[in-house]
Amino acid sequence: MSSPPPPFHLLRSHHSPLSSLCFNQSNTLLYSGDQDGYITILDLRARRVIAYWKGHEGGVLGLEEWQGGLVSHGRDNVIHFYDALKKPYISFGIGGKEKKGPEIIKSLPTNALNFCEFSLLPLSDSPNSEEFMGNGKGKGKQKEALLAVPSLMDSELVDIYHLPSRRRIHASVNYSPKPNSITKDSVIPEETRSGLVMSIHLRQIPSSPQITLSMGYEDGRVELFISTIDSISEVYDARMLKSPNPWKLLWKGKGHNEAIMGMDVDSMSKYGWTVSADHRLVRYDFGKVIHDKVNVEERAIIKDCAMKQIGNSSVAVNASGKVVAVGGWDGKIRLFSSETFKPLGTLSSHRETVHAISFASPPLPSSESHSSETEDVSTIDIEENDDSDSEIDVEGLPPRKRWLASGGKDTKVALWGLMDFERGLSMNVKIEK
């Protein structure tokens, strides 16, 4: 079998371990954040850094694009919403002493005790916009989203916020009442202890009003809840127990004996994936849970793949849900088929732990894609001392929808071009340059 090639681009703007990576919706920008709170925006067309600034006093937990602007979550217990970037791009914080990024238009206090990043779900259609946007003057067409974060009151619980109103609509959705007969000498049963929430994932089932919420916990447990878009009109707090919980627990199970270090769920809520300090890649058949109404603790939902190495810190699923990437403590990224667990290849460039992996975003609808492709390439001026690689051969690179970004403890971001697994090409270790 031929050896996989090295990454086609390395970004060296960060000076501390990477913690978060995210492609924008058109795959023209790559957002990256590190453990010192610095954020970089890379223009993927010009292959140049267009922004570099300190976004948080603590490390960056998560990055996401919404409404053309960046959303960042930091260890300083705050989520920032930045103004949208407009072309021609301005080089923020490059070559100057003051590293100021795009303008922050709003912020939201949050809980970062458990290193768990937010999950943002744009809503396709919702009839409740006017209720949450005040008088709605001039904002009737503004899109909505749901934002899931660890609860401010308890790091074992999850709260749901509405965007753009930033109003908390559902509090402590995964709350479970403790036994009534508790004294100072009582021992709370083990099943009531979930530990801190380590990972949160909101998804909307395609062509359906149903929304899923999946969570991974410190004790290795995974839970799957379901609700509907209509539920956002009802304000709810599970700890009050005064009204029915709009979030129904469909399934819970334990795939690891230690804390979940990485988790991802495909866009259709078909499969969930987790990794931990052990040697296993664990798959959860959420599709079967949703459609077949299985027992809430059905063990057959869990299936795992034993890997040769011990210790994994990140996992990501591509847009089609067919390819899974696992980042290990050994600096390698291993690719697997989501259906068969068959190894598809191993990418090797990082010298230490791979903390963050991101597949490119799915292709935009034809109308949006056409307008995106006809935009002018960025006309920014880059400082000559920019640390990103300058000489890149663009010949032979696959389309951006098949790119993969990885970042780790070695402070570098690597960009990879993957072969077209969707066309059923050879599943051997063969990856396009």
Report whether pLDDT(309) > 80.
Answer: yes
In angstroms, the CA 220 to CA 285 distance is 16
- pLDDT, tens digit (0-9, with 9 covering 90-100), for 202-245: 999 998 999 999 999 999 999 999 999 988 888 999 888 777 88
3-class secondary structure per residue, the chain: CCCCCCCCEEECCCCCCEEEEEECCCCCEEEEEECCCEEEEEECCCCEEEEEEECCCCCEEEEEEECCEEEEEECCCEEEEECCCCCCCCCECCCCCCCCCCCEEEEEECCCCCCCCCEEEECCCCCCHHHHCCCCCCCCCCCCEEEEEECCCCCCCEEEEEECCCEEEEECCCCCCCCCCCCCCCCCCHHHCCCCEEEEEEEECCCCCEEEEEEEECCCEEEEEEEEHHHHHCCEECCCCCCCCCCEEEEEEECCCCCCCEEEECCCCCCEEEECCCCEEEEECHHHHHHHCCCCCCHHHEEEEECCCCCEEEEEECCCCCEEEEEECCCEEEEEECCCCCEEEEEECCCCCEEEEEECCCCCCHHHHHHHHCCCCCCCCCCCCCCCCCCCCCCCCCCHHHEEEEEECCCCEEEEECCCHHHCCCCCCCCCC
Name the least confident of 106-120, 131-145, 203-217, 297-311: 131-145
Phi-psi region of 321 (alpha: psi -120 to 50; beta: other; left: phi over 0): left
Q: How much is the mean pLDDT over the chain?
A: 84
Name the least confident of 19-33, 126-140, 364-378, 410-424: 126-140
User: pTM of the full predicted structure?
Assistant: 0.85
Q: Whose CA is closest to 335, among 198, 430, 223, 433?
A: 430
Instruction: Look at residue 239 in the predicted model and tell me its pLDDT.
Output: 87
Q: Whose CA is closest to 43, among 54, 27, 55?
A: 27
Instruction: Look at residue 97 in the predicted model and tell me its pLDDT.
Output: 57
Instruction: Look at residue 188 in the predicted model and tell me its pLDDT.
Output: 47
What is the rounded radius of gyration, in angstroms, for the C-alpha atoms of the chain? Answer: 21
Report whether pLDDT(85) > 90.
Answer: no
Q: Whose CA is closest to 200, among 173, 163, 228?
A: 173
b/e for 121-152, b at 16 or more Cβ within 10 A? Answer: bbbeebebbeebbeeeeeeeeeebbbbbbbbe
How large a percentage of the chain has pLDDT more than 70? Answer: 78
184 pLDDT band, cuts 50/70/90, is low
Q: Comparing 368 with 404, which gets the higher pLDDT?
A: 404
Q: What are phi and psi of 190, to 5 degrees?
A: -60, -35
In angstroms, the CA 128 to CA 162 distance is 11
Instruction: Look at residue 179 in the predicted model and tell me its pLDDT.
Output: 58
Question: Hey, what are 175's tokens?
Answer: 């709350």
Mean pLDDT of 157-180: 89
Report whether pLDDT(149) > 90.
Answer: yes
- pLDDT, tens digit (0-9, with 9 covering 90-100), for 259-277: 999 999 999 999 999 999 9
List CB contacts of 202: < 8 A, sequence separation 6 or more: 119, 120, 121, 146, 148, 211, 212, 213
Site of tokens 């949050």: 110
Report whether pLDDT(78) > 70.
Answer: yes
Q: Is the dihedral of CA 288, 293, 297, 299 positive or negative?
A: negative
139 pLDDT band, cuts 50/70/90, is very low
DSSP character for 265? E
Instruction: Look at residue 398 in the predicted model and tell me its pLDDT.
Output: 85
Under DSSP, is residue 302 helix (H, G, I), strand (E, B) or coil? Answer: strand
Name the least confident of 1-15, 52-66, 409-423: 1-15
Instruction: Look at residue 92 in the predicted model and tell me its pLDDT.
Output: 67
Q: Comparing 136 with 364, which gets the higher pLDDT?
A: 364
393 pLDDT band, cuts 50/70/90, is very low
Protein fold of 9-175+194-423: Methylamine Dehydrogenase; Chain H (2.130.10)
In angstroms, the CA 119 to CA 60 distance is 14
- pLDDT, tens digit (0-9, with 9 covering 90-100), for 310-349: 999 999 999 999 999 999 999 999 999 999 999 999 999 9
90 pLDDT band, cuts 50/70/90, is low
Mean pLDDT of 154-178: 92
Q: Whose CA is closest to 152, among 217, 79, 235?
A: 79
Q: What are phi and psi of 96, to 5 degrees?
A: -115, 165
Instruction: Look at residue 430 in the predicted model and tell me its pLDDT.
Output: 41
How large a percentage of the chain has pLDDT more than 90? Answer: 64
In angstroms, the CA 89 to CA 82 distance is 15
Name the least confident of 126-130, 179-183, 321-325: 126-130
Contact in structure between 411 and 17 (CB atoms under 8 Å): yes
10 pLDDT band, cuts 50/70/90, is very high
In angstroms, the CA 167 to CA 157 distance is 17
